[in-house]
């Protein structure tokens, strides 16, 4: 699952001269191990890397692996699901594909991906971000290799915080966050702009309470919004949401929350750091007033749990050059290129041990702190059906508008259960 607004730029353009978007090549050379040349076809998604980074990596890869001809083909996010499904079922699949981290399970279930479990140690898998590594696995086997991550932080107005006497560096707990937001919520100013259906933020609060969106029991997935822990997460969401004027029946895209903040009357939003770029584009006067801090947790010893978006790299089982494909994956997800990618794109690197690589980037640094407590949506192919219907959003609106929270949570959980198991 990919966030489209990242810290480096709100829109990134990648231009490459490539022939078509076909799958694997027809060369009969070796696997890149020195016994002959391999032509390696790789699908990367639009905006995942910049043209500059792509060129640097391609040149570096050619120098260290002269027996592999690398062809990177940029794919569009719209319609990619059907395209990947078709490629995995064909005899002409590309050799490496970038896919959203929460999509790995559905492709692994089809049997179209190469099992890379025995490569985890070689790739430093013990240090991978949990929010990328866990959804990259399916039924105990690792298919997706963490590529990069992004998650939400608090984007705030430094000037409004100063005027209210609020020190953002002192906000370490959710209680402190509420107290600070109450101070900021005055006159015509919103302490926070939080819509009623920002369900990724709700997921984090539920995880903080020890709950989950859904749980697996006896091989069956069941919605869990009516569990006590999940209800406690919703109670906190409700408390925070009332400290602003966000609509209770819309998500953060309707209207775009960064555009709302750009109007000058909002002290903070929950967003990926790239939201700050949109705010500055809409209102240049705010460019130097924007800062970031991790979403606070229940206690000061760790930040709040966040949904980890980002991508994994997979190798199709039908790849004709699996050894060369693994060489590519190992290079791009290795420490050296991960550090360069993180700085170039303001991403969170794929390992917790590399967090210091983005220390000079305030937005990415705040993301990296939160990423250590990152999670993903329930790891089931059926989750796509839940997001398509998204009863979570309707539940949140109902809870925020005075309807019985527990009753509405039970109703939404039943709908989630049906969706997950009918799809699986």
Domain CATH code at residue 88: 3.40.190.10
Whether 320 and 395 share a structural domain: no
Whether 275 and 189 share a structural domain: yes
374: nearest Cα among 286, 304, 298, 275: 304
Whether 287 and 342 share a structural domain: no
Whether 180 and 66 share a structural domain: no
Residue 296 is classified by DSSP as: P
Six token digits for residue 31: 């696997």
Residue 288 is classified by DSSP as: G
Residue 183 domain-assigned (yes or no): yes
Per-residue pLDDT of the chain (424 residues; tens, 9 = 90+): 545 444 433 222 222 222 233 344 444 334 444 456 889 999 999 999 999 999 999 999 999 999 999 999 999 999 999 999 999 999 999 999 999 999 999 999 999 999 999 999 999 999 999 999 999 999 999 999 999 999 999 999 999 999 999 999 999 999 999 999 999 999 899 999 999 999 999 999 999 999 999 999 888 999 999 999 999 999 999 999 999 999 999 999 999 999 999 999 999 999 999 999 999 999 999 999 999 999 999 999 999 999 999 999 999 999 999 999 999 999 999 999 999 999 999 999 999 999 999 999 999 999 999 999 999 999 999 998 999 999 999 999 999 999 999 999 999 999 999 999 985 5
Residue 27 domain-assigned (yes or no): no
Residue 119 domain-assigned (yes or no): yes
Question: Which pLDDT belongs to residue 187?
Answer: 87
CA distance 152 to 130: 16
Number of domains comprising the chain: 2
Whether 143 and 164 share a structural domain: no
Report the alpha-carbon angle 386-146-5, nearest 5.
Answer: 65
CA distance 308 to 41: 27
**Who contacts 104 (Cβ-Cβ below 8 Å, separation ≥6)?**
113, 135, 136, 137, 138, 143, 144, 312, 314
Whether 181 and 280 share a structural domain: yes
In the block, residue with structure tokens 């906190």: 236
Residue 68 is part of which domain span?
38-150+309-365
CA distance 56 to 135: 29
Whether 171 and 85 share a structural domain: no
CA distance 73 to 41: 7
Whether 146 and 159 share a structural domain: no
Whether 209 and 220 share a structural domain: yes
Residue 273 domain-assigned (yes or no): yes
- CB-hemisphere CA count at 13 Å for 407? 4
SS3 339: helix
- Whether the predicted model's global pTM rises above the 0.75 cut: yes
Question: Which pLDDT belongs to residue 423?
Answer: 59
305: nearest Cα among 295, 317, 314, 315: 295
Q: Is 91 left (phi over 0), alpha (psi -120 to 50) or beta?
A: alpha
Residue 127 domain-assigned (yes or no): yes
Taken in order 324, 326, 327, 329, the sign of the CA dihedral is: positive
Residue 285 domain-assigned (yes or no): yes
Whether 215 and 295 share a structural domain: yes
Query: Percentage helix, strand, coil, to 5, in the chain?
Result: 45, 15, 40
**CB-based burial, 63-101: b 16+ in 10 Å, e otherwise:** eebebbbbbbbbbeeeebeebbeebbeeeebbbbbbbbb
Whether 293 and 177 share a structural domain: yes
């Amino acid at each position: 699952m990919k966030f489209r607004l990242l810290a480096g730029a709100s829109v990134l353009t990648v231009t490459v001269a490539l022939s078509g978007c076909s799958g694997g090549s027809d060369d009969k050379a070796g696997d890149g191990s020195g016994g002959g040349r391999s032509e390696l076809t790789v699908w990367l998604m639009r905006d995942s890397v910049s043209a500059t980074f792509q060129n640097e990596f391609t040149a570096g890869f050619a120098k260290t692996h002269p027996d592999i001809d690398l062809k990177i083909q940029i794919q569009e996010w719209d319609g990619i699901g059907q395209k990947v499904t078709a490629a995995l079922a064909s005899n002409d699949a590309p050799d490496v594909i970038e896919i959203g981290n929460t999509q790995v399970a559905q492709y692994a279930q089809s049997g179209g991906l190469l099992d890379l479990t025995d490569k985890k140690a070689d790739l430093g898998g013990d240090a991978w971000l949990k929010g990328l590594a866990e959804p990259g696995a399916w039924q105990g086997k690792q298919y997706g290799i963490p590529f990069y991550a992004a998650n939400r932080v608090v984007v705030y107005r430094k000037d409004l915080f100063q005027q209210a006497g609020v020190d953002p560096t002192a906000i370490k707990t959710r209680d402190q966050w509420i107290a600070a937001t109450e101070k900021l919520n005055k006159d015509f100013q919103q302490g926070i702009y939080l819509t009623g259906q920002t369900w990724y933020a709700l997921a984090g609060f539920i995880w903080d309470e020890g709950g989950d969106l859904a749980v697996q029991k006896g091989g069956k997935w069941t919605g869990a919004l009516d569990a006590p822990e999940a209800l406690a997460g919703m109670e906190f969401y409700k408390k925070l949401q009332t400290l602003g004027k966000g609509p209770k029946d819309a998500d953060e895209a309707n209207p775009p929350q960064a555009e709302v903040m750009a109007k000058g009357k909002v002290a903070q939003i929950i967003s990926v750091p790239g939201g700050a770029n949109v705010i500055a584009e809409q209102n240049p006067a705010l460019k130097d007033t924007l800062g970031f801090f991790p979403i606070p947790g229940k206690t000061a010893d760790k930040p709040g749990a966040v949904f980890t978006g980002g991508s994994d790299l997979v190798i199709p089982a039908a790849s004709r050059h699996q050894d060369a494909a693994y060489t590519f994956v190992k290079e791009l997800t290795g420490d050296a290129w991960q550090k360069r990618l993180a700085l170039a794109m303001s991403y969170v690197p794929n390992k917790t041990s590399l967090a210091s690589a983005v220390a000079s980037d305030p937005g990415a640094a705040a993301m990296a702190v939160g990423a250590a407590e990152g999670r993903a949506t329930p790891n089931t192919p059926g989750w796509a059906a839940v997001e398509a219907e998204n009863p979570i959003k309707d539940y949140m609106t109902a809870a925020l508008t005075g309807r019985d929270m527990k009753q509405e949570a039970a109703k939404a959980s039943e709908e989630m259960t049906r969706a997950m198991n009918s799809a699986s």
